[in-house]
Amino acid sequence: MKLSEVFPPQGHVQSLYCDICRKNLYLAFTDFYEDVSGIHISIQGLPVLRCDACKRDHLPDHSRFVIIEHHRLATEKGAPSVKVTRRKPNKKFNFTNIPFLYDSDDYQYLPGLERPFDEGFLTPVFFNREVLLKYDASPTYRVRFASTTYGDIAQDNFYISFGINKNGKVIMWLGDIAKLPEAEQYYLRSENIESDHLIGSEFYDGQIECVFTEPSQENKLFSLRSAFLESCFKKLGKKIAHLDYEVFNLALAFNAPVIDTERERRHVADTLNKIYVESFDNGALGSIISQTGGDPKGLGSIKRLQAVLETIANGADIPKFLSPFYVLYDLRVAYSHLTSAEKAKKILESVMQRLGIASASGLMEVYGRLSQELSSSFEKLIKIIDTR
Neighbours of 134 (CB within 10 A): 17
pLDDT of residue 110: 96
Closest CA to 49 of 109, 113, 123: 109
Nearby residues of 320 by Cβ (< 8 Å), 6 or more positions away: none
Q: What is the mean pLDDT of residues 275-295?
A: 93
pLDDT of residue 245: 82
Q: What one-character-per-residue DSSP string does 95-129 give? A: T-SS-----HHHHHHSTT---SSSTTTT-EEEE-T
Q: What is the mean pLDDT of residues 324-343?
A: 88
Radius of gyration (Cα) for the chain, nearest Å?
26
- Residue 135: which pLDDT band, with cuts at 50, 70 and 90? confident
pLDDT of residue 269: 94
Mean pLDDT of the chain: 92
Q: What are 11-14's contacts with CB under 8 Å, separation 24+?
A: 13/111, 14/49, 14/58, 14/59, 14/60, 14/61, 14/111
Single-letter amino acid, residue 105: D
Q: How far is CA 162 from CA 29, 199, 309, 335, 371, in A?
A: 26, 11, 30, 36, 26
CA dist 178 and 175 (Å) reads 5
pLDDT of residue 69: 94
- The answer to whether 236 and 288 are in contact (CB under 8 A) is yes
Looking at the chain, how many residues does it have? Answer: 388
CA dist 366 and 284 (Å) reads 31
26: helix, coil or strand?
Answer: strand
* pLDDT digits 0-9 by tens, 37-88: 999 999 999 999 999 999 999 999 999 999 999 999 999 999 999 999 999 9
Q: Is 90 exceeded by the pLDDT of residue 270?
A: yes
Q: Is 80 exceeded by the pLDDT of residue 116?
A: yes
Decide the pairing of beta strands 26-36 and 39-51.
antiparallel
* pLDDT digits 0-9 by tens, 356-386: 999 889 999 999 999 999 999 999 999 999 9
Q: Which residues pair with 155 in a beta bridge?
A: 158
Q: Is 80 exceeded by the pLDDT of residue 211?
A: no
Give residue 287's region: left, alpha or beta (phi > 0; psi -120 to 50): alpha
- Residue 213: which pLDDT band, with cuts at 50, 70 and 90? low
Closest CA to 111 of 100, 101, 124, 102: 124
More confident residue, 255 or 123: 123
* pLDDT digits 0-9 by tens, 78-92: 999 999 999 999 999
Question: Quick one: which H or E segment has residue 152?
Answer: strand 150-155
pLDDT of residue 136: 86
CA dist 201 and 17 (Å) reads 11
Looking at residue 241, what DSSP letter applies?
B
Q: Is 70 exceeded by the pLDDT of residue 182?
A: yes
